[in-house]
Amino acid sequence: MLTKYRQNRLKFITDMYIFLLCFFQCRDIMFIRRYFVRIRRKKTLMTADWEKELIVRTAWYYYIRKKTQKEIADMLSVSRMRVIRLLEKAEQENVVQITIHTNFRGRLEAEQALIDSYALSDALVIPSDEMYTSASLNDAIARAAAMYINEHFSDNPIINIGYGDTTGRFMNYFSQISKKKPTYVSLTGGVSIYLLNTQSSAVNASLYLIPAPLAASTPEIVEAIKKESAVIEIARMHATASCSVIGIGGVDDNATVIKSGIIQKSDFDFLKICGAAGDVLAHFFDENGNFITSAADENLVTYPPESLKKLHNVIAVAAGSAKYVAIRAALRAHYPDILITDEDTARWLVKRETSEKFGFGGSDINRRHEEALLWIKSI
């Protein structure tokens, strides 16, 4: 009996021992587990803090101290690719916020809107100024075109040149600001008159100009000019040009074709009655960019309109309210690839195209309504 009692007691003690041993072992394991979890969390927090520190330091060195990516990599003992990723994170996490001056931002947005609205390859928009006259605006556009071409094309560019006030001013400015040696190839007759006030152009540039006025007295003279070997050679050079600079003319009484006597006033009025909205290279077109033929075309020494779209990098230089409709028509017909204009013109072009796209404008009724509103506001 006693032996059985001792056996049961021994079994109880043994069981309790095993229970307590297991209990404390489990508690120790949980303790150790919690300990390592805390360590891991602390390490993660430390890593995150250090990552943030690296992002801030990298941004500081790059944007404030103007260090190169390689210099920053050496300073922080990380790879250059790591520096690039840290700079990307700095922008993503708003550690760095890049802002652009509002004046520049507006023009950059206008350029992109022009490109998107009219499928242009590029656009350059200069600031508008209420003090601009027609002549001073043309001057500013020409100067911008000279800087654009000087920046974007090779050291010895071949430039096709059309007739017009702005294109003439462009040649003057390009000779002044650029050390490059351009080759000018005329697309029309009459271009040589714009070189009279540009002594440096004659020195720095190679000139291949059609030796004829833009408007000849008879169609027979035009045909004879086209058969001249020098003119044939010039015609072959057009396709090899780096770019072509053309103006876009309006249909107001101050249009170059009228002031220069290229087209008679009676022919000009007839073209307007036929729906002419503007011209390129003295070829008139309607509001959709469709060319309008007239008897005056036979007397013109100019590039054929159907070949205009075959040229590379056709740059239109035009601005001003008198040319709004003309510029838009030329853009809709895709005659130029690139437009250089001012901010007011760009905004009008984008607004007009957007409103018509969504059905808010474009008809004669809407146009007259807008003109009436402008007249009312002016009273």
pLDDT tens digits for range 19-46: 555 555 555 555 555 555 454 554 444 5
Q: What is the pLDDT at residue 56? A: 87
For 163: left if phi > 0, alpha if psi spans -120 to 50, otherwise beta; the answer is beta
b/e code 74-94 from CB counts within 10 Å (16+ = b): eebeeeeebbeebbebbeeee
Tokens in use for 291? 């060319």
Least confident of 26-30, 107-111, 190-194, 255-259: 26-30
Tokens in use for 267? 């022919």
The residue-averaged pLDDT of 261-279 equals 90
Q: Encode pLDDT of 53-101 as tens digits.
A: 888 889 988 988 889 999 999 988 889 999 999 999 998 988 888 776 6
Helix (H) or strand (E) holding 222: helix 219-226
Nearest to 207 by CA among 259, 158, 163, 164: 158
Q: What is the rounded distance in angstroms from the CA atom of residue 124 to the CA atom of residue 145?
A: 8
Q: Encode pLDDT of 98-151 as tens digits.
A: 776 666 778 888 999 999 999 999 999 999 988 999 999 999 999 999 999 999
One-letter amino acid at 326 equals A
The yes-or-no verdict on residue 199 having pLDDT over 60 is: no
Distances (CA, A) of 181 to 155, 192, 200, 249: 7, 18, 11, 28
Least confident of 128-137, 168-177, 198-207: 198-207
Angle between helices 134-152 and 165-177 (to 10 degrees): 50
Q: What is the rounded distance in angstroms from the CA atom of residue 184 to the CA atom of residue 1?
A: 128
Nearest to 207 by CA among 194, 220, 223: 194
Q: What is the pLDDT at residue 365? A: 40
Least confident of 11-15, 64-68, 270-274: 11-15
Tokens in use for 62? 């790059």
- Per the model's pLDDT, the better-predicted residue between 106 and 166 turns out to be 166
Q: Encode pLDDT of 71-81 as tens digits.
A: 999 988 889 99
Q: What is the pLDDT at residue 164? A: 87
Please name each of the domains of the chain with its CATH number: 2-92 (1.10.10.10), 104-378 (3.40.50.1360)
* Percent over 70 (pLDDT), the chain: 77
DSSP-assigned states of every residue in 167-208: HHHHHHHHHHH--S--EEEESBTTGGGGGTT-HHHHHHSEEE
The residue-averaged pLDDT of 314-336 equals 96
pLDDT band at 286 (very low <50, low <70, confident <90, very high): very high
Residue 295 three-state SS: helix
Nearest to 349 by CA among 321, 374, 377, 371: 321
Q: Is the pTM of this model over 0.85?
A: no
The residue-averaged pLDDT of 221-242 equals 94
The yes-or-no verdict on residue 361 having pLDDT over 70 is: no
Tokens in use for 249? 């003319």
Q: What is the rounded distance in angstroms from the CA atom of residue 37 to the CA atom of residue 42?
A: 8
